[in-house]
């Protein structure tokens, strides 16, 4: 059993409370401050949502969260999903395998292309990759220690969010949702706006990340401009001002809604 493993036996209670130390001691990585804060929020039982630019380490923190949950919580289950098979099977899942390798955890975990399980408890204690194009496969994942990981969450459709919400009926079931903020609609956008009170939210910009090349940031700035939606989404980790199928950009509508118009003044007619 995992708790009899000498390397983790004495420290497991500490790692449950301090996942950043799990990353340092077991996975042999140094988390950025925001990554450690995200992991700490999960340890407190909070739902976490992160919007960011490219290259800041959001896939790494998702992989760390998966392995921390499996290593430290008995019979944990971690369903992971993404809007595309490429993101899920070619990016997130190999990242999990990478950190199993770096941490020397092959004797603890069995890694396959769609699943990571604790050896000896393969049917009870595992993480599983499920594409969001079949949201019903995410249902029924009830466990005392349940973590949903949603990668590139801006592309997840509402029906998948509804399935995830319906499965979190046990105490302590939490969500980690990460991604570039590509859309001004859907569950990911709502997590930063009308559903904000249910989430612990972060924005991480590529502009300030030590993991991102300054040259790339400057190239994106010069090529697209800081006010472009490409720069906002891919670098600054901000939602776009408008979307391709929108006649009037949403930010202009919001500006009109909250515009402070004084009473009185001359009447004007525009044509």
At 25-42, the pLDDT tens digits run 999 999 999 999 999 999
Cα of first residue to Cα of last residue in the chain, in angstroms, is 76
Per the CB < 8 A criterion, the answer to whether 180 and 84 are in contact is: no
251 pLDDT exceeds 50? no
Looking at residue 122, what is its pLDDT?
A: 87
Instruction: Give the E-state strand segments of the chain in sequence order.
Output: 48-52, 77-81, 109-111, 115-118, 126-129, 147-150, 174-179, 200-204
Q: Establish if 198 belongs to a structural domain.
A: yes
Mean pLDDT of the chain: 87
CATH number at residue 18: 3.40.50.300
Per the CB < 8 A criterion, the answer to whether 133 and 153 are in contact is: no
Per the CB < 8 A criterion, the answer to whether 145 and 74 are in contact is: yes
116 pLDDT exceeds 60? yes
Give the rounded percent of residues in the chain with a pLDDT score beyond 70. 82
Q: How confident is the model at residue 131 (pLDDT cuts 50, 70, 90)?
A: confident
Strands 126-129 and 115-118: antiparallel
239 pLDDT exceeds 80? yes
Give the rounded percent of residues in the chain with a pLDDT score beyond 90. 71
Question: Region 160-185: what's the mean pLDDT?
Answer: 90
Which of the residue ranges 23-27, 158-162, 210-214 would you say has the lowest mean pLDDT? 158-162
Q: Establish if 172 belongs to a structural domain.
A: yes
Q: How confident is the model at residue 168 (pLDDT cuts 50, 70, 90)?
A: confident
Residue with the larger pLDDT of the pair 250 and 80: 80
Residue with the larger pLDDT of the pair 261 and 38: 38
Residue with the larger pLDDT of the pair 122 and 54: 54
Q: Establish if 261 belongs to a structural domain.
A: no
Number of domains in the chain: 1
Q: Establish if 224 belongs to a structural domain.
A: no
Give the range of the structural domain holding residue 34, as residue numbers without chain letter.
2-212
Q: Establish if 235 belongs to a structural domain.
A: no
Task: Give the whole-angstrom CA distance, residue 175 versus residue 79.
Answer: 10
Q: Could you report the per-residue pLDDT of 88-105, keeping only the tens digit for each? A: 999 999 999 999 999 999
Q: Establish if 236 belongs to a structural domain.
A: no
Q: How confident is the model at residue 252 (pLDDT cuts 50, 70, 90)?
A: very low
Q: Establish if 115 belongs to a structural domain.
A: yes
Q: How confident is the model at residue 130 (pLDDT cuts 50, 70, 90)?
A: confident
Q: How far is CA 166 from CA 59, 130, 141, 142, in A?
A: 25, 16, 10, 10
Question: Region 122-151: what's the mean pLDDT?
Answer: 80
Looking at residue 253, what is its pLDDT?
A: 45
Q: Establish if 148 belongs to a structural domain.
A: yes
47 pLDDT exceeds 80? yes
Q: How far is CA 244 from CA 34, 182, 187, in A?
A: 32, 11, 19
Task: Give the whole-angstrom CA distance, residue 148 versus residue 173.
Answer: 8
Task: Give the whole-angstrom CA distance, residue 176 versus residue 147.
Answer: 7
Angle, vertex CA 137, rays to CA 135 and CA 140, nearest 5 = 110
246 pLDDT exceeds 60? no
């Amino acid at each position: 059993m995992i708790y009899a493993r000498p390397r983790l036996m004495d420290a497991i209670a500490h790692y449950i409370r301090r996942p950043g130390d799990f990353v340092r001691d077991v996975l042999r990585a140094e988390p950025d401050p925001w990554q450690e804060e995200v992991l700490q929020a999960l340890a407190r039982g909070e739902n976490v949502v992160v919007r960011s630019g490219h290259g800041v380490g959001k896939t790494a923190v998702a992989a760390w969260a998966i392995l921390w949950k499996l290593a430290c919580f008995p019979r944990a289950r971690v369903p992971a999903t993404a809007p595309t098979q490429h993101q899920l099977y070619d990016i997130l899942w190999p990242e999990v395998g990478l950190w199993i390798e770096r941490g020397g955890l092959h004797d603890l975990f069995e890694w396959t292309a769609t699943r990571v399980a604790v050896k000896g408890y393969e049917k009870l204690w595992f993480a599983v990759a499920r594409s969001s194009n079949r949201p019903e496969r995410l249902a029924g994942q009830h466990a005392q220690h349940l973590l949903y990981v949603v990668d590139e969450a801006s592309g997840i459709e509402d029906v998948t969010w509804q399935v995830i919400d319906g499965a979190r009926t046990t105490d302590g079931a939490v969500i980690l949702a990460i991604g570039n903020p590509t859309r001004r609609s859907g569950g990911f956008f709502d997590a930063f706006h009308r559903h904000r009170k249910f989430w612990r939210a972060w924005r991480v910009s590529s502009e300030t990340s030590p993991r991102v090349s300054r040259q790339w940031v400057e190239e994106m700035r010069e090529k697209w401009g800081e006010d472009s939606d490409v720069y906002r989404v891919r670098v600054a980790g901000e939602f776009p001002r408008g979307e391709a199928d929108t006649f009037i950009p949403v930010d202009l509508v919001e500006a009109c809604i909250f515009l402070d118009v004084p009473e009185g003044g001359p009447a004007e007619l525009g044509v």
